[in-house]
Amino acid sequence: MKPRDMRDLVWFDDDDARTEVLFETERIWSQLICLQGSQGLGPISDAGSDAIVSVLAGEVAVQIGKSRTRMSQWHSALVPAGTELTIRNASEEPAVVQVTTAPPPSPAV
């Protein structure tokens, strides 16, 4: 086993949300999303994968299907397979979000 320090994957791009794959196997996939300013990601979805969205730092506005909420550090939400997910930074501070899916999303995602 070789652990990863997630802080090594955290950096921000002035133009777009930045994503970095944390882990990927045949059965699970996880990435970090780094957002600043009004940056966002989505809508994205995968018909064959459930996902967990966890806020590691900052505050984000999350839309899962037709439901919307704000999430701050240490909050998580489940995204059922086939449901659209949109994430947007919701404060002046940067945000870091971890998205984990099982099984991994299809290559078209």
Q: Are 106 and 82 in contact (CB under 8 A)?
A: no
Q: Are 19 and 30 in contact (CB under 8 A)?
A: no
pTM assigned to the model: 0.93
Which structure tokens are listed for 77? 């939400």
CATH topology of domain 18-98: Jelly Rolls (2.60.120)
Using alpha carbons, select from 61, 66, 67 the residue that is nearest to residue 87: 61
pLDDT confidence of residue 109 = 45
pLDDT beyond 60 at 108: no
Tens digits of residue pLDDT in 61-93: 999 999 999 999 999 999 999 999 999 999 999
